[in-house]
């Protein structure tokens, strides 16, 4: 399957192979579990505001269809490639299985720079992509959601385009929509809130007092910013944050409410008064209790893994730690890892709630959503920690083993058709 060849896909396969060795999965079953079921790549010609026509490339990868429809985000980023999307789809499969959701994993991406496009251009691109995807998606086939570079507005355009095509309103075609058109309360905050909840559980496990703890957050998008604010509410001091324009650091703590105002005015954390500038690379090396990579994949690498100085590595991003870095971190038992498929699962869990509410046309209160979210995360955390301790394996290997094992078992129960 070298159509998916990409450093991130190789990384997801390496992680999978470690789990498959541990679970002693026979070779034929490995290939069935590992490779995406299907993918679609589309050319998206749209008219820019200048009048010029430009063709963008979009991908959607559906990893496995054994447990229900596929589920996963859509990202807009200049680095999007098919193999990267395939890796992210594979991680979605293990994440959904670990949290017990009735979904296979999927991911989509359009290679574009959303920060350099107008809202009209983004709308045309999103609608054209949705139109091209019509034979490939559906509320019982594949349900998209926001990811890097996309948001509630993107989902609203997708839902409108799909609904216009079928002739009636179909809110369950996407999740992460605005609440006014069938979105769920608490979806926007879900990923960051879940990350902070799990960090709090990890602090309990390690005996770290939140009021004494410091945190560093790489990436200040929806996930990073909500994580930082939620940690601050638990009493943690957030000392450094960053975005693509750079980072800011203040050992005595950043005023996150002032920072929000700065971002509203300047659209970046960079230049925030009362903090020193740091690069994204330097930020990862700042001594702290909690380090939260909440940006792109492959940030903790062979080069910096021996030099990060934290007690908890909370992977809010997908795939932030490379397998080489994992080997190094394996020899650093002082660092407790909350692996990505557990740490950032809050987003897809509340997406699942949104889909269920849309299918039933019956909507829940915020406290129902948050309560059910924490219950699912608590279960996944306890099971992962339990397996990790019982078998003396890393939290990542434990989480992946639970996820992969459940998909393997579902495939066994359903059998091979024909």
- Residues near ligand GLU, by CB under 6 A: 71-73, 145, 147, 175, 318, 344, 347-348, 351
Q: 107 catalytic, yes or no?
A: yes
Least distance (Å) between residue 403 CB and ligand GLU: 13
Task: State which residue, 222 or 394, has the beta carbon closest to ligand GLU.
Answer: 222
Task: State which residue, 4 or 103, has the beta carbon closest to ligand GLU.
Answer: 103
CA–CA separation, 80 vs 59, rounded Å?
9
CA–CA separation, 231 vs 211, rounded Å?
10
CA–CA separation, 276 vs 232, rounded Å?
20
CA–CA separation, 70 vs 18, rounded Å?
24
Least distance (Å) between residue 273 CB and ligand GLU: 33
Task: State which residue, 15 or 344, has the beta carbon closest to ligand GLU.
Answer: 344
SS3 label, residue 319: coil
Residue number with the smallest Cβ distance to ligand GLU? 73
Task: State which residue, 192 or 247, has the beta carbon closest to ligand GLU.
Answer: 192
Least distance (Å) between residue 131 CB and ligand GLU: 21
Least distance (Å) between residue 348 CB and ligand GLU: 4
Least distance (Å) between residue 72 CB and ligand GLU: 5
43 class by beta-carbon count within 10 Å (0-12 exposed, 13-18 middle, 19+ buried) = exposed
Whether the bond between 203 and the residue before it is cis, its omega within 30 degrees of 0, is no
Long-range Cβ contacts of 294-297 (<8 Å, 24+ apart): 294/195, 294/217, 294/218, 294/219, 294/220, 294/221, 294/223, 294/224, 294/227, 295/218, 295/219, 295/221, 295/224, 295/242, 295/244, 295/320, 296/79, 296/148, 296/219, 296/320, 297/8, 297/11, 297/84, 297/87
Which residue is catalytic, options 107, 177, 372, 411? 107
Q: Which residues are catalytic?
A: 107
């Amino acid at each position: 399957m070298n159509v998916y060849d990409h450093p991130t896909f190789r990384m997801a396969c390496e992680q999978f192979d470690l789990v498959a060795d541990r679970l002693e999965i026979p070779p034929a079953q490995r290939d069935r579990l590992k490779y995406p079921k299907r993918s679609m790549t589309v050319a998206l010609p749209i008219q820019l505001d200048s009048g010029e026509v430009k063709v963008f490339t979009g991908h959607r990868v559906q990893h496995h269809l054994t447990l229900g429809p596929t589920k996963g985000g859509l990202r807009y980023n200049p680095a999007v490639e098919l193999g990267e999307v395939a890796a992210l789809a594979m991680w979605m499969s293990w994440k959904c299985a670990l949290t017990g959701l009735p979904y296979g994993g999927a991911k989509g991406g359009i290679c574009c720079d959303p920060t350099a496009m107008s809202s009209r251009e983004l709308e045309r691109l999103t609608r054209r992509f949705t139109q091209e995807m019509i034979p490939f998606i559906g509320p019982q086939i594949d349900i998209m959601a926001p990811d890097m570079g996309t948001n509630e507005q993107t989902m609203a355009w997708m839902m409108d385009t799909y609904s216009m095509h079928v002739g009636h309103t179909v809110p369950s075609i996407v999740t992460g929509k605005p609440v006014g058109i069938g979105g769920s309360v608490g979806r926007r905050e879900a990923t960051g809130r879940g990350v902070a909840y799990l960090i709090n559980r990890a602090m309990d496990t390690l005996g770290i007092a939140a009021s004494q703890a410091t945190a560093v957050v790489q990436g200040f998008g929806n996930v990073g910013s909500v994580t930082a604010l939620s940690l601050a509410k638990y009493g943690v001091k957030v000392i450094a944050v960053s975005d693509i324009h750079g980072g800011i650091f203040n050992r005595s703590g950043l005023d996150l409410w002032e920072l929000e105002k700065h971002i509203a005015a300047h659209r970046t954390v960079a230049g925030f008064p009362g903090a020193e500038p740091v690069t994204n690379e330097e930020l990862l090396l700042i001594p702290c209790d909690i380090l939260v990579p909440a940006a792109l994949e492959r940030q903790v690498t062979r080069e910096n893994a021996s030099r990060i100085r934290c007690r908890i590595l909370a992977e809010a991003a997908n795939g932030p730690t490379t397998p080489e870095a994992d080997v190094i971190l394996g020899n650093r038992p002082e660092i407790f890892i909350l692996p990505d498929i557990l740490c950032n699962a809050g987003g897809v869990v509340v997406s699942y709630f949104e889909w269920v509410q849309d299918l039933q046309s019956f909507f829940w209160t915020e406290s129902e959503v948050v309560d059910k979210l924490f219950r699912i995360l608590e279960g996944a955390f306890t099971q992962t920690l339990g397996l990790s301790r019982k078998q003396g394996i890393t939290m990542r290997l434990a989480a992946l083993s639970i996820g992969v094992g459940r998909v393997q078992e579902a495939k066994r129960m359903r059998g091979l058709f024909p």
